[in-house]
Amino acid sequence: MADAKTQIDEIVKGGDVVLFMKGTKAMPQCGFSSRVAGVLNYMGVDYRDVNVLDDADIRQGIKDYSDWPTIPQLYIKGEFVGGCDIITEMTLSGELDTMFEKQGVAFDKEAADKIREANG
């Protein structure tokens, strides 16, 4: 599992925004992954998607790496942010916008506002 941990560490630290998910950003394979990818896609965030279904070691390894039991998992600038429920809450509260702004991650603020309007 050391190889998976090293690989995960390189992926997490190698991109500004990384989403470990079931499936890909173009074709999510579960509802929770679809929700988070949908938010990021709609907001125009440039992110790396890692399909945990392609590698059992990565699938288990990411849970161990973050000490978080579920997938998807979102990382911003090497920091674990959360899973589907947390990202949903942060999107609706505006916290995700703030985090992106503080970290210098480009996103469409108007799209973020539209998500909140539609769910308000």
pLDDT digit of tens for each residue in the chain (120 aa)? Answer: 569 999 999 999 999 999 999 999 999 999 999 999 999 999 999 999 999 999 999 999 999 999 999 999 999 999 999 999 999 999 999 999 999 999 999 999 999 999 999 997
The annotation status of 84 as a binding-site residue, yes or no, is no
Q: Give the contacts of 114 (CB within 8 A, at least 6 positions apart).
A: 42
Looking at the domain that runs over 2-115, which CATH code has it been given? 3.40.30.10
Q: Give the contacts of 107 (CB within 8 A, at least 6 positions apart).
A: 43, 44, 45, 97, 100
Please tell me the predicted confidence (pLDDT) of residue 23: 98
Q: Extract the tokens encoding 20.
A: 């470990």
Give pTM, 2 decimals. Answer: 0.96
